[in-house]
Structure 1
C-alpha cells in the first residue's frame, strides 16, 4: 500500500526550484516539498536556497523559509492571522482537556462509589481502566471521520455525545449503569486529543510546531492532576455526583466554544480555490454542511484505511511503543498517590489530599516553561551542525533528558513511600515526574509530525493510542503489584523500563531516517 518509488526526492534542487519560481505563486507548494523535507531534513535558512530563496514565502523577519509554503487563497488556514489560529487552538485545547480529567477523577470517586454500591474497590478500579481502553482505540474512527466529513463537525458531534454520557455518569444509580456510562464516554470524549496534531498541522508552519505542540499538550497533561484535585474537594463537601455534574459543565463549555469560535481547517493546498468547499456560513461548517459539498473529492475507504497504513510504518510503531512504556508510569503515580497519602501519610481528609495534587500542576508548568525554549533551541543547535538541516529524528534527542528525570523521580518516589520519607520529598519528585512526562510528550509528537507530515492526524491519534494503552495497562496492574512487592521494588522496576525503552529512541536516532526512506511515505492510491 505504500509506494516508496512513487516520488523522487528533489529537495533543494536548484534547477527545479528556479523553474518553479517562474510559475504562479500557488505552485510554491511544490517548490518547497514538505514530504521531501521530511525525508532528507527540513531546511529553514533562506541562504541555503538558490538566490537566497527569492520568490519564496518567508517569516516576517526574513530568517526562515515557511514550510509548507502557503497558497494565495485567504481561506488557507496557514494565512489566517495569529489571533484566529490561536482562538481555534484554544477551542481544541478546551475539548482535549476533559478525557484525562474524567479518567483521573474516577480514581477519587471510585472509593465512595464502591461503598455506595457494595462492590470491592478492585471492581471500582474498572471505572478507570474501562474508560481508558475505549479512549485509546477511539482515535482510529475519529481521524477517519475528520478526514472525510471535516475536523469541525466531527469535534462538535463527538462533544455533543460526550455531554450526554456525562449526564448519564452523574445520574447513574448502579454499578453496572455507571460502568456502561464510562465505556460509552470513552468512545466519544477523545476527539480533541486525537485531532490535536491534525489541527496544528493545518494551521501552523514547521518552525512553529514544537512550541504549539508544547502548549496543546500542556493542557492535556495537566488535566489528570486538576481532575483529582477538584474532585477531592467536591466529594468531601457535596458528594461524588457533583464531580460529574462539573464534568458535564466542562464538556458543555467545550461545545459552546466550538459553536462560537470553532472553524474548519481542512484545506487541500494542491487543489485550486475553485475546488475548495465554499465558506459562507460558519455554523453550516460546524454542522458539516459546507464540507459535504466537496465530499466526492474524498474517499471514505481511504479515510478508513489511513490510520492502519500509518501504523505499518516501523518508526511510527516503535515510537508509539516507546511512548506507551514511558507514559504509563506517570498514570500509575497519579492513580496510586491518593492511596499513598491515605495509608502511609495519614492524609485522612479529601480536602487535605487535594492540595497535594498541585505537584502535577507545578510539574506541567515547569515542563511547559522549559519546553517553550528547549525544543526550539536544540533545533537551532542541531541545524547549525548539520548543514542547516533538521532531521525529524533530531526531535527525539530531548527524550534523553526526560528519561533521566523520569527514572530518578520514579526511584525516589518508590523509596520515599517505602521508607516513609517526608511527604514534601514525595511532592518534589512527583513534580519532576510530571515535568518529564510533558517534555517527552512534546518531543514524541514533534517527531510524529516532522517525520510524517502527510499523515498528521493518523500519527497523532497513534500517540493518543500509546497514552491510552499505557494508562489502561498501568491502572490494571499497579495496585496488585504494589501489594505484592512494595513501592521501592515496583517503582525501581518501572524506572528500569523507562531507561530500557530509551533504547528504542537510540535505535531511531541512528536508523530511523534509513527506515523511513526504505519504507516510503504514507502513500495511498484512490
Structure 2
C-alpha cells in the first residue's frame, strides 16, 4: 500500500504508476534501489535534481518537451490570455440581466434560462470541435473559434431584441467550445508505459552499441527511436498541417461518450464538472442579488463584483500549480520514489474546506444583509478554491488516460448541460426560499462531491488496473 493507495493484485505494472524520484550518491550517480537511473532525463532546478521527467522527452527537436523555456512560457502566456478572454466572454453580460429583463418585459428567471441555451450549445458542440481538433489539429479549430467569437461580439453590440441577442450568443458559444478541451500534456512516452527499468535497459543497450563513454551518458537524449530535422519557422506558423489522426471522424466524435464508462472519467465528471458548474450558476444570478435592496447596485457595480472572482482566480492559478507539484513530489519521495496519479487528488482538501465555507458564507451573508464586502469576498473564495479542483482533476485524468486525454476532457464537459438545467430554476428558487437555503444546499452538495475523492484515492490504482484489463474498456480505447 502506497500512502493509502491500495495495491493491485493483477498487474505488475499499472498504467499511470511511474518512477518520479530517485537517489543521488556521492559520485552524482542516480539510482533507484539496484536500478541505475543515470541515463534517464531529470528535472533541473534547485531541489529537483532527483525528479525523473515523466514522460521522458524524445530526441525530436520538434518535441514540445524539448522546447526552450522561453518558448514554453510564451505559448502558455498566449493560451492563458486567449482562454481568459474566452472565459470572460460568457458571463460578461450577466450584470445587465436585470435591466434587460425589464426592457424586454421578461422575468429574470426566463431571461436567465433562455440565454442559458448557450451553455447547452457549448456542452454539445465541444464534442464536434474536439473531434475536429483531434483529426485535423488544434490550431485551425482554435482560430475558427476566435473568429466566431468576434462575429458574435459584433452582432451582440447591434442586437436590440432578445431573439437577436440569443442568436448571437449561440454563435459565440460554438466559438467557445474549442477552449473547453486545453491538451494538458503532449504524450511522447513512446510506448514506455512509464517502465523505468525497461527504458533504462533499452537505453543502456543503445549506448553500448554506439560505444558511448560513461562521462557522456548524462548528456545523451533518452529516447532514440527516431530522429528528424527541426521544423522551420515558416512551417511552425502554418495554420493547417494536414490530417493528424487516421481514425474516422465519427469514431473520435463518439469516443468521449464511451469514455464515461471509465471510473476515473466518471469521477472527474462529477468532481470537476459539477463543482465548476456552481460558478456558472452563481455568476448568472449576481444581478438579481445585488441590484435589489439593500445593495441597489448599478449594472456597472454588479460587474465590479466579479473583480473578486478575478483576484481569486489569479491567486488560485499561481498557487495551486506549485502546491500540487510540491505535494506530489513530497508524497512520491515518501513512497520510495514511486508516483501514483491518486497523489494529485490530495489538494482537493483545499476545495473541500474553502469551497464549502465560501458557498455557505455567500448565502448566509446575503440572507442577513451583511455589507457588500462580505458576499463579495466569499464569491472570490469560490473561484480560488475551485482552482485547486481543476488542477487536481486535470492532472489526474491526464495521468490515467494519456493517450485519450482530449476525449476524456470532452466527456467531462457534459457538465455544461447540468449548468444549463440549473439556470432554468435557480433564480425562482432564490426568490421562493432565499439565498441562505439555496447556497447552503449548494455548499452541501459541493462538500459531498469533494468527499468522493477519498474512495477514488484509495481504490484508484485498482480502477486503473481494471480498466486496462477488462475487454470493454480496451475496446473503447481502441475505438
When the two structures are superposed, what TM-score results if normalisation uses the length of structure 2? 0.79
Q: Give the secondary structure class of the aligned counterpart of 2:238.
A: helix
Question: Which of 301, 306, 317 in structure 2 is aligned with 1:352?
Answer: 301
Q: Give the secondary structure class of the aligned counterpart of 1:519.
A: helix
Shift of 1:514: 1.0
Deviates most, 54-63 or 443-452: 54-63
Q: Does 1:291 align with 2:242?
A: yes
Shift of 1:84: 1.3
Computing the radius of gyration from Cα coordinates, the structure with the larger value is: 2
The C-alpha deviation readout for 1:415-441, integer Å capped at 9, x for no partner, is 211111222222222222221111212
Match of 2:185 in 1: 201
Shift of 1:394: 1.6
**8 Å CA contact 2:62, 2:231 repeated in 1:** no
Question: Which of 424, 428, 436 in structure 2 is aligned with 1:488?
Answer: 436
Gaps of 5+ in 1: 1-7, 12-35, 206-268
The C-alpha deviation readout for 1:251-279, integer Å capped at 9, x for no partner, is xxxxxxxxxxxxxxxxxx998456x9976
Q: Could you tell me how far apart the structure 1 residues matched to 2:278 and 2:75 are?
A: 32
Match of 2:150 in 1: 163
Higher helix proportion, which one?
1
Match of 1:96 in 2: 83
Q: 1:317 to 1:203 in 2, by over 3 A?
A: closer
Match of 1:78 in 2: 65
Q: Does 1:52 align with 2:52?
A: no
Q: 1:348 to 1:73 in 2, by over 3 A?
A: closer
Question: Which of 333, 344, 347 in structure 2 is aligned with 1:384?
Answer: 333
The C-alpha deviation readout for 1:212-237, integer Å capped at 9, x for no partner, is xxxxxxxxxxxxxxxxxxxxxxxxxx
Q: Does 1:373 align with 2:322?
A: yes
**8 Å CA contact 1:332, 1:471 repeated in 2:** yes
Shift of 1:461: 2.6
When the two structures are superposed, what TM-score results if normalisation uses the length of structure 1? 0.73
Question: Which of 126, 129, 138 in structure 2 is aligned with 1:139?
Answer: 126
Q: Which runs of structure 2 are paired with 1:409-428 in the superposition (5 Å)? A: 409-428=358-377
Q: Could you tell me how far apart the structure 1 residues matched to 2:140 and 2:188 are?
A: 21
Q: Could you tell me how far apart the structure 2 residues matched to 1:281 and 1:110 are?
A: 46
**8 Å CA contact 1:383, 1:390 repeated in 2:** yes
Q: 1:84 to 1:481 in 2, by over 3 A?
A: same
Q: Could you tell me how far apart the structure 1 residues matched to 2:237 and 2:353 are?
A: 49
What is the count of residue pairs matched by the alignment? 422
**8 Å CA contact 1:345, 1:423 repeated in 2:** no
Q: Which runs of structure 2 are paired with 1:111-150 in the superposition (5 Å)? A: 111-126=98-113, 128-150=115-137
Match of 1:23 in 2: none
Match of 1:21 in 2: none
Q: Could you tell me how far apart the structure 2 residues matched to 1:391 and 1:87 are?
A: 30
Q: Could you tell me how far apart the structure 2 residues matched to 1:355 and 1:159 are?
A: 25
**8 Å CA contact 1:332, 1:475 repeated in 2:** yes
Q: 1:393 to 1:313 in 2, by over 3 A?
A: same
Match of 1:189 in 2: 176
Q: Could you tell me how far apart the structure 2 residues matched to 1:77 and 1:186 are?
A: 30
**8 Å CA contact 1:415, 1:488 repeated in 2:** yes
Q: Could you tell me how far apart the structure 2 residues matched to 1:63 and 1:204 are?
A: 21
Match of 1:395 in 2: 344
Match of 1:212 in 2: none
Match of 1:500 in 2: 448
Question: Which of 375, 382, 390 in structure 2 is aligned with 1:441?
Answer: 390
Q: Does 1:429 align with 2:378?
A: yes
Match of 2:259 in 1: 310
**Highest relative contact order (Cα 8 Å, sep 6+), 1 or 2?**
2
The C-alpha deviation readout for 1:264-307, integer Å capped at 9, x for no partner, is xxxxx998456x99767347631x1x334xx5745434433432
Question: Which of 464, 475, 478 in structure 1 is aligned with 2:426?
Answer: 478
Q: Could you tell me how far apart the structure 2 residues matched to 1:54 and 1:455 are?
A: 30
Q: Which runs of structure 2 are paired with 1:332-347 in the superposition (5 Å)? A: 332-347=281-296
Gaps of 5+ in 2: 1-9, 23-29, 190-222
**8 Å CA contact 2:134, 2:245 repeated in 1:** no
Cα-Cα RMSD = 2.9
Q: Could you tell me how far apart the structure 2 residues matched to 1:154 and 1:70 are?
A: 27
Q: Give the secondary structure class of the aligned counterpart of 2:424.
A: helix
Match of 1:517 in 2: 465
Question: Which of 179, 199, 211 in structure 1 is aligned with 2:166?
Answer: 179
Q: Give the secondary structure class of the aligned counterpart of 1:190.
A: helix
**8 Å CA contact 2:404, 2:477 repeated in 1:** no
